[in-house]
């Protein structure tokens, strides 16, 4: 894989459109960006009431449930993959590190970006760090850890950008911090992934008993590992399919090993998660709730999106079946999204009559689609032009 020389003329070509840009994906993405921009304008000129269905009963809506809770969980591939490679010494997964770090960095960056839509006064977002010291708040801990981990992810991402720019000294300096950054990232991820679950411990009367548990912080942390492993497989499969031409021989050869290794690990973690969920029901003696409507929905989540992908991962890893593992990763990712939405929206305020229940407006959903589209476009741009899916020729065998 040849590395382009970064010159002024080369940089101009990055932003010069040609006939090849007129594809169905780009057309749909352009429409989403236009609609998202219009709703964004309405949100910041008309306020939250102009675009959301939020109320006193439900001050946190789809943007928190999907953009924040799901976004943070699905960005866990960064710390899971880097820990596997640099802490546990599994160097055979090294080709998955940079795509996972990039996905995590963009995921956390977009979480912070999306949070500006939900906060009534977004310009006050940094206030807790510089004006008020609400250190006893779980939300303060989440904000602090996310801010620090976003910084860590940015530094972990910079070697690829520095290689692209030809800044060898700066690249070598940052690369020397890899192990320290990985350890720091794992610590921060452990804290804020679990603390997101702890946020809901203050609402025992609002969250349905099948989803409410004193083990929520543990559930959120363990499920983030599942999300990280599954997202590496899911994202790697999409990259292998649509950015195949950007991968070098190493990435192409190691792809199957990454899928099988992460699939096998995910099966064990899913099994452990399934067991502790059952233990949680037994500890709180909530068996009788399983016979209700919410109980059936809980079983759909537990059996269809936890146990099923667990068995599929195990079968795929044993039989060396890539398709089975890929399907399992898709189901597992959907299961994480379903779990976070159940906790934050569907099973929240379950006791209220339907007329008082919260349903997101189409503009709330539009903003979330808008944010995801930005992430996909930025990932594609960076992966296309920087050494993410291939090794820079000057740094072969440097890992």
In this model, does residue 358 exceed pLDDT 60?
A: yes
> What average pLDDT does the segment 64-82 reach?
94
- Render pLDDT for 203-238 as a digit per residue (tens, 0 to 9): 899 999 999 999 999 999 999 999 999 999 999 999
The confidence score (pLDDT) of residue 1 equals: 52
109 occurs within a structural domain: yes
φ, ψ at 348 (rounded to 5°): -95, 135
The confidence score (pLDDT) of residue 192 equals: 92
Distance CA 249, CA 254 (A): 9
The upper half-sphere exposure of residue 296, i.e. CA atoms within 13 Å in the direction of its Cβ, equals: 3
The confidence score (pLDDT) of residue 13 equals: 56
Q: At what angle do helices 362-385 and 97-118 cross, to 10 degrees?
A: 150
The confidence score (pLDDT) of residue 132 equals: 67
Q: What is the largest CA-CA distance in the chain?
A: 69
396 occurs within a structural domain: no
57 occurs within a structural domain: yes
> What average pLDDT does the segment 239-264 reach?
90
In this model, does residue 330 exceed pLDDT 90?
A: yes
The confidence score (pLDDT) of residue 294 equals: 96
- Render pLDDT for 275-311 as a digit per residue (tens, 0 to 9): 999 999 999 999 999 999 999 999 999 999 999 999 9
1 occurs within a structural domain: no
3 occurs within a structural domain: no
3-class SS at 395? helix
The confidence score (pLDDT) of residue 9 equals: 59
123 occurs within a structural domain: yes
Per DSSP, what are the bridge partners of residue 395? none
In this model, does residue 32 exceed pLDDT 80?
A: yes
Q: Which domain holds residue 272?
A: 27-390
Distance CA 335, CA 304 (A): 8
Distance CA 82, CA 75 (A): 12
Closest to 187 (Cα-Cα) out of 332, 65, 87: 87
The confidence score (pLDDT) of residue 4 equals: 56
6 occurs within a structural domain: no
Token pair in block for residue 373: 């589209």
In sequence order, which residues have a C-beta less than 8 Å from that of residue 352 and are 6 or more positions away? 57
Of the given ranges (132-146, 239-253, 274-288, 323-337), which has the lowest mean pLDDT?
132-146
| Average pLDDT value for the chain | 90
Domains contained in the chain, number: 1
- Render pLDDT for 121-131 as a digit per residue (tens, 0 to 9): 888 888 877 77
3-class SS at 97? helix
Per DSSP, what are the bridge partners of residue 348? 207
Decide: residue 132, CB within 10 A, 0-12 exposed, 13-18 middle, 19+ buried: exposed
- Render pLDDT for 311-326 as a digit per residue (tens, 0 to 9): 999 999 999 999 999 9
pTM for this model (two decimals) = 0.91
For residue 50, what is the domain's CATH number? Answer: 1.20.1630.10
- State the residue for tokens 């998955």: 96
> What average pLDDT does the segment 173-202 reach?
93
9 occurs within a structural domain: no
Token pair in block for residue 125: 């977002």
Of the given ranges (17-26, 84-93, 149-158, 208-217), which has the lowest mean pLDDT?
17-26
Q: At what angle do helices 216-242 and 322-341 cross, to 10 degrees?
A: 140
The confidence score (pLDDT) of residue 56 equals: 80
């Amino acid at each position: 894989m040849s590395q382009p020389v970064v010159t002024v003329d080369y940089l101009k070509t990055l932003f010069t459109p040609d006939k090849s840009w007129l594809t169905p994906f780009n057309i749909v993405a352009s429409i989403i960006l236009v609609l998202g921009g219009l709703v964004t304008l309405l949100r910041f000129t008309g306020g939250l009431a102009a675009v959301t269905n939020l109320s006193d009963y439900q001050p946190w809506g789809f943007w928190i449930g999907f953009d924040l809770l799901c976004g943070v969980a699905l960005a866990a591939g960064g710390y899971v993959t880097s820990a596997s490679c640099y802490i546990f010494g599994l160097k055979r997964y090294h080709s998955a590190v940079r795509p996972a770090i990039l996905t995590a960095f963009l995921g956390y960056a977009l979480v912070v970006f999306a949070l500006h839509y939900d906060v009534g006064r977004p310009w006050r977002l940094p206030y807790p760090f510089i004006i008020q010291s609400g250190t006893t708040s779980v939300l303060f801990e989440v904000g602090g850890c996310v801010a620090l981990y976003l910084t860590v992810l940015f530094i972990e991402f910079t070697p690829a950008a520095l290689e692209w720019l030809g800044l060898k000294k700066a690249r070598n300096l940052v690369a020397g911090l890899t192990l320290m950054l990985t350890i720091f990232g794992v610590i921060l991820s452990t804290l804020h992934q679990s603390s997101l679950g702890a946020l809901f411990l203050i609402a025992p009367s609002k969250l349905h008993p099948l989803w409410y548990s004193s083990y929520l912080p543990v559930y959120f942390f363990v499920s983030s590992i599942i999300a990280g492993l599954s997202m590496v497989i899911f994202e790697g499969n999409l990259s292998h399919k649509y950015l195949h031409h950007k991968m070098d021989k190493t990435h192409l050869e190691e792809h199957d090993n990454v899928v099988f290794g992460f699939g096998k690990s995910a099966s064990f973690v899913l099994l452990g998660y399934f067991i502790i969920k059952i233990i949680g029901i037994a500890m709180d003696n909530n068996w009788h709730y399983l016979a209700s409507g919410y109980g059936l929905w809980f079983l759909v989540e537990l059996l269809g999106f936890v146990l099923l992908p667990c068995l599929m991962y195990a079968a795929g890893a044993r039989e060396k079946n890539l398709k089975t593992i890929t399907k399992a990763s898709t189901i597992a990712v959907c299961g994480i999204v379903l779990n976070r939405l159940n906790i934050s929206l569907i099973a929240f305020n379950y006791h209220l009559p339907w007329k008082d229940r919260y349903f997101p407006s189409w503009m709330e959903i539009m903003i979330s689609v808008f944010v995801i589209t930005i992430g996909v476009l930025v990932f594609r741009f960076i992966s296309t032009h920087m050494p993410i899916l291939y090794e820079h020729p000057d740094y072969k065998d440097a890992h």
